[in-house]
A and B are shown apart, each in its own frame.
Chain A
Amino acid sequence: MTEKEIYGTEPAVRSMTRRTLMQGSFLTAAAMMARGFSLPAWATTPAPIVTMGKAKSVIQIWMWGGPAHLDTFDPKPEAGSDYSGPLDHPIETNVSGMRISELLPLLAKQGDKYSLIRSMTHGLYSHETASYTVQTGRLSGGHDVFPNVGAVVSLFKGYKAGYKGLIPPYIVLTEPQGRFAEEGFMGQQYKPFATGGDPNQARFAVEGVVVPGVTDQRQKDRRALLHQMDSLGNSLKDDPQVAALNTTERQAYELILGDAGKVFDLSQEKDELRDRYGRTTFGQSCLAARRLVEKGVPYVTINYNAGWDTHKQNFQTMRRRLPEMDKGLSTLLQDLSDRGLLESTVVWWCGEFGRTPKVAWEAPWNGGRGHWGSVFSAMVAGGGFQGGHVVGSSDARGEEVKDRPVYPLDLIGSIYRQMGIPADARLPHPEGLDVTTIPSKAEGLPMAGLLKELV
């Protein structure tokens, strides 16, 4: 395989370098503006139409790799089989006129709970820059690396804002994304805690919280031994560094031996409910996410890295993976709703981009789809976002935004709004620069403003 294939330049433009691609994509954004899309900045949005939201938590379903918008929430059977492939029978949801992929029948029954944004755009085509932009709203290549949504939420809703849980305020289920430093310039304390382990195993061995094969008694004995053996620690008790070590130890044991860690004990849930979520890593991650927000954890990311980067054999992957996503995500929405948590929990689903609408049938792709940043889809539910709406649209073949472009900052800013985080709240910058959660118009980033249709 060549490097290009592995790294994933989409087949349609694979003769171009990534550099020219990037330039091309920025032109796309500029061209959109020229075509008359107005770009009012957040700062100049007229006085708030709604009051700040009251959502308490966010669950982010991160579709690592970028799933095809045409095969999920923006089906285009009318464009012909070169676009829709074999998935050309989308189904109606319980909201009339809102169609989604035929592989998502359970989500189709809950269209009233979520809304779709079919006009997401940023014009970026490589994983790392697109992942960064979708989750920070900023463009890469400036002076700073900005914090992502999870880090910002954990700043404004975490320990400094009165959160007292022993579970860290920003959790990733289960492996880190590994694309960029989520905390950006804000520093290490805003890094997410990645659980490791697999919630679909008999015991969800969250790294550090649950270690299989060590009984509580042995935990206690070992701890006593540690105190007895920590000679230098006893000599340096007054050193602030060492004192911090002792504080973290106390907190760690509250989590290991106390009740807080039980949030990861999925066996406390009824088998029937666990089955409904699906006995898959994703399904049980959704269940774990619900348990976490139930305990007040402000931000949970499910890093759903399940082969969505479908350069090859896209449709096989869709048939294999979408049913598991359908089961997990639909049960999550239902379960949150049944428990009265949906109102206070934002759920957002998005990848770094969509995929090439025109299927690459030829070898070596064999029905693959490349990266596509001109238009893609996102889903939002709960936390005060209205369900049953479709925001914006793509053109007949799903290649460009047709109307109402939504930029990553618009979605992010709307989530902040629902969480009660003001657009002009300052972020702690190491050089003391004046940086706000949502940039001012002067910074020139593309934005269209709040998702008014949904709040």
Chain B
Amino acid sequence: MKKMWVTVAVMVTLVSGSILAQKPAAAKTAGFGSAGKVDPVYESAAAVVPQNRIDELVFAHWKQAGVQPARLCSDAVFVRRAYLDVIGTLPTQAETQRFLADTAPQKRSRLIDELLERDEFADYWAMRWSDTLRIKAEFPINLWPNAAQSYHHWIREALHEDMPYDQFAQAMLTASGSDFREAPANFYRAMQDKSPKTIARTVALTFMGTRAENWPPEKLDQMAVFFAHVGYKPTREWKEEIVFFDPTGEQGGVKRTAAELAAVSLPLNAVLPDGKKVRLAEDQDPRKVFADWLTTPENPWFSRAITNRVWFWLMGRGLTADPDETGPGAKVENAALLDYLQQELVRSHFNLKQIYRLILTSEAYQLSSIPVGDGAKSRANFASYAPRRLDAEVLIDALCQVTGTSEDYSSAIPEPYTFMPEGTRAISLPDGSITSSFLELFGKPARDTGLQSERNNSFNDAQRLHMLNSSHVQKKIQQGPALQDLARGAKNNDDLVNLLYLTVLSRSPSNDERATAKQKLQGGGRREAVMDMTWAMFNSTEFLYRH
């Protein structure tokens, strides 16, 4: 197992060396032409031509698999997709129009750059990280509201300030101090128990992208040694807890017998997950030794786990079957691509936005969701964009934005910290215990395990009922001030239909759609017609899914 990693690391280095020497990609690989008629609403007539190294690797994979890629997506699809994927937020009608009217050839990559700098980028990705790190005041994680919020705040700032990913991980893994004051120390508290083994499993899942429950038990025991000196102690302040380096091992999350204490007494010989032996000195926090090993550029576990996860987040499907298992045994769909992404992360000094940018500006990301040929095969090879239901938080924010309404969020802990001001967006909620029945119904993760699979975005009957027929959604449509303003502000029926489509679906209507809508408007009460059309759009595949 260890040997395999070494080989991979060497290969990665070789690949990267050749990249640096390469000429611009487009000249090298021929593009794909698509068969069939273009649907201008969703597709672009432009040829699919590689834009960067990701495309070269993905295109090569298509050739090998005999897959025909989808067409490029239209500008309208792109603007909506980019907003939803990068900032978890629907573009406003004005933002959509500005982008559609822009004639600059580089407008797509420019939009990506803009979105990566928006405040909502930090909100939205802090939400994903909070899922992964289980930030929740209540049971079973029990961070308590102010600790949860200081932790969330720290993560949001780290994302906002582009903290390099190795520093981000180091800060959490080596943190000591009060859960209220040293936010990253909450990493060691946001677990169901605080035994060294559980800490090791959590670290493995979070930063090594692997499920330690599948490891041989002795390997987990070896890794747990590095976390055997994490101490916890309460203070006089309600719910405050100090995480600290306890050289004796007495104040950890498990009670130890004298013999067990002797066994973890420093100095100590320990074995890192790659089999390397280290001597842990008496005055040395073993967590630091581990963190240094973890974040070293040559360590494939670390960069592989995060680049695969970013790919999974943006493309809807990881390069391994389970985004939480990227260990040596995991089958990688396009190994050269994952190697390249890892290498790029290292080369950019662990700048995650660089990986986002590379993926988002690739043609592979900008394909239409309408596959050519076998749909399943197309999706499996990233030969078309995978439509996914909007996340619970993104969906409710979108409904609120279109209608100009807001939601109440509350926690089972009636604590001042859990009261959210009116107008708070769901993607910016700082603590998993602050929720609403809509978020629960639409599968906001429980933040129990940190597994990516906790977020389940497949549609179920109860969700469908809620969208089709709840008083909650109905009231938003009926009373939403933004919709009423839109209807009042429209110059005529044509304008109204256009504005409605731009606002809800981020595009102009096709001629057929315009005709259907105008017929509906002329058919009876205008107000009711606007409401019913909005309702139909809210329930359309196009609104409910990123596509």
Residues of chain A having any CB pair with chain B under 8 Å: 2-4, 6-7, 17, 19, 127-129, 132, 140-145, 166, 168, 175-176, 178-181, 184-185, 187-189, 191, 193-194, 196-197, 205, 207-214, 218-219, 221-222, 225-226, 228-233, 235-236, 238-242, 244-245, 248-249, 251-253, 255-256, 430-431, 433
Contacts known (A193-B462, A222-B536); A145 close to B468, Cβ less than 8 A = no
Binds A, one of B1-9, B51-59, B104-112, B469-477: B469-477
Contacts known (A205-B471, A211-B471, A245-B459); A140 close to B139, Cβ less than 8 A = yes
Instruction: For residue B512, give the distance in angstroms from its CB to the closest CB of chain A.
Output: 8
Question: In the complex, what residue of chain B is closest to A128 when comparing beta carbons?
Answer: B139
Cα(A207)–Cα(B532), bound, Å: 18
Partner of A3, one of B39, B370, B415: B415
Q: Is the CB–CB distance between A4 and B388 below 8 Å? A: no
Interface: B273 (CB within 8 A) = no
Contacts known (A208-B469, A230-B540, A231-B513); A132 close to B140, Cβ less than 8 A = yes
Q: Is the CB–CB distance between B540 and A229 below 8 Å? A: yes
Point out the residues of chain A lying under 8 angstroms from B468, CB to CB: 208, 249, 252-253, 256
Question: In the complex, what residue of chain B is closest to A253 when comparing beta carbons?
Answer: B468
B55-88 Cβ-contact flags toward A at 8 Å (1 or 0) = 0000000000000000000000000000000000
Partner of B437, one of A175, A211, A245: A175
Cα(A105)–Cα(B540), bound, Å: 54
Which residues 209-235 of B sit at the A interface, judged by CB distance below 8 A?
211, 213, 234
Q: Is the CB–CB distance between A231 and B542 below 8 Å? A: yes
User: Most B CB atoms within 10 A — which of A140, A205, A232?
Assistant: A232
Interface: B547 (CB within 8 A) = yes
Partner of A142, one of B192, B238, B414: B192
Q: Is the CB–CB distance between B541 and A232 below 8 Å? A: yes
Cα(A193)–Cα(B539), bound, Å: 20
Contacts known (A176-B440, A194-B437); A248 close to B463, Cβ less than 8 A = yes
Question: In the complex, what residue of chain A is closest to B386 when comparing beta carbons?
Answer: A241
Contacts known (A205-B471, A229-B533); A145 close to B140, Cβ less than 8 A = yes
Instruction: For residue B37, give the distance in angstroms from its CB to the closest CB of chain A.
Output: 12
Closest 6 CB pairs of A and B: A208-B465, A233-B541, A128-B139, A181-B446, A248-B464, A232-B542
Point out the residues of chain B lying under 8 angstroms from A252, CB to CB: 461, 464-465, 468-469
Point out the residues of chain A lying under 8 angstroms from B142, CB to CB: 128
Which residues 26-42 of B sit at the A interface, judged by CB distance below 8 A?
39, 41-42
Question: In the complex, what residue of chain A is closest to B142 when comparing beta carbons?
Answer: A128
Cα(A209)–Cα(B142), bound, Å: 35
Cα(A167)–Cα(B156), bound, Å: 41
Could you name 8 residue pairs across A and B whose Cβ atoms are closer than 8 Å?
Answer: A132-B139, A179-B138, A196-B437, A211-B474, A229-B513, A230-B541, A235-B42, A248-B464
Interface: B535 (CB within 8 A) = yes
Q: Is the CB–CB distance between B520 and A225 below 8 Å? A: yes
B528-544 Cβ-contact flags toward A at 8 Å (1 or 0) = 00001101110111101
Point out the residues of chain B lying under 8 angstroms from A207, CB to CB: 437, 465-466, 470-472
Instruction: For residue B253, give the distance in angstroms from its CB to the closest CB of chain A.
Output: 10
Partner of A141, one of B192, B459, B513: B192
Contacts known (A187-B456, A188-B443); A251 close to B375, Cβ less than 8 A = no
Contacts known (A140-B139, A181-B446); A232 close to B547, Cβ less than 8 A = yes
Contacts known (A180-B140, A231-B513); A209 close to B469, Cβ less than 8 A = yes
Cα(A277)–Cα(B413), bound, Å: 32
Cα(A187)–Cα(B460), bound, Å: 12
User: Most B CB atoms within 10 A — which of A144, A145, A211, A239?
Assistant: A239
Cα(A418)–Cα(B155), bound, Å: 49
Cα(A268)–Cα(B213), bound, Å: 54
User: Most A CB atoms within 10 A — which of B413, B448, B469, B532?
Assistant: B469
Contacts known (A188-B460, A189-B460, A251-B461); A142 close to B389, Cβ less than 8 A = no
Interface: B412 (CB within 8 A) = yes
Cα(A143)–Cα(B440), bound, Å: 22
Cα(A143)–Cα(B464), bound, Å: 33
Question: In the complex, what residue of chain A is closest to B316 when comparing beta carbons?
Answer: A241
B457-501 Cβ-contact flags toward A at 8 Å (1 or 0) = 011111111101111101000000000000000000000000000
Point out the residues of chain B lying under 8 angstroms from A7, CB to CB: 413-415
Cα(A132)–Cα(B139), bound, Å: 9
Contacts known (A231-B510, A232-B42); A178 close to B412, Cβ less than 8 A = yes
Q: Is the CB–CB distance between A128 and B541 below 8 Å? A: no
Point out the residues of chain B lying under 8 angstroms from A233, CB to CB: 540-542
Question: In the complex, what residue of chain A is closest to B253 when comparing beta carbons?
Answer: A141
Question: In the complex, what residue of chain B is closest to A221 when comparing beta carbons?
Answer: B532
Instruction: For residue A39, give the distance in angstroms from its CB to the closest CB of chain B.
Output: 21
Point out the residues of chain B lying under 8 angstroms from A244, CB to CB: 458-459
